[in-house]
Amino acid sequence: MRTFDLVTGESLFVNDLRVVRWEQYGLGSTMPFQAMWYSVPPGDESPIDQHPELELSIVVAGTAHVLVGGTETEVSHGNAFLLDTKEAHVVQNRSADEVLTVFSAYWHPVTADHD
């Protein structure tokens, strides 16, 4: 068994968002996905993001307001959301005093081989 610690993980910052990527743990190709935690300060939001990977995110602290294609979805602590490939999104933290923390696993979708 291995454990991963959000608090002591090596951070990088994207604007005001703290990002802890799992690549730092030396997992290489042992997992079929990549992963990270990110924290959004109170009253802040992520920059708009869009990528070719599927992204499964679990809210581990706070409440996320996820904006996708003109639709807003509230995702509370303990719940998850799945972003499709190339789906532009923004994650907002509307709390005045609580940090929003999200765990995300992301991977390239498997495509069926056609003969």
Going residue by residue through the chain, which has 115 residues, state the pLDDT in tens, using 9 for 90 and above: 989 999 999 999 999 999 999 999 988 889 999 999 999 999 999 999 999 999 999 999 999 999 999 999 999 999 999 999 999 999 999 999 999 999 999 999 987 665 5
Radius of gyration of the chain (CA): 15
User: What 3-state DSSP class applies to 11?
Assistant: coil
What distance in Å separates the CA atoms of residue 93 and residue 79, rounded to the nearest whole number?
15
Taking the model in full, what pTM does it have? 0.92
Q: Which residue has the tokens 């090596």?
A: 10
What distance in Å separates the CA atoms of residue 97 and residue 23, rounded to the nearest whole number?
30
pLDDT at residue number 111: 77
Which pLDDT tens digit goes with each residue over 47-73?
999 999 999 999 999 999 999 999 999
pLDDT at residue number 5: 92
40 and 104 Cβ atoms separated by less than 8 Å: no
pLDDT at residue number 15: 92
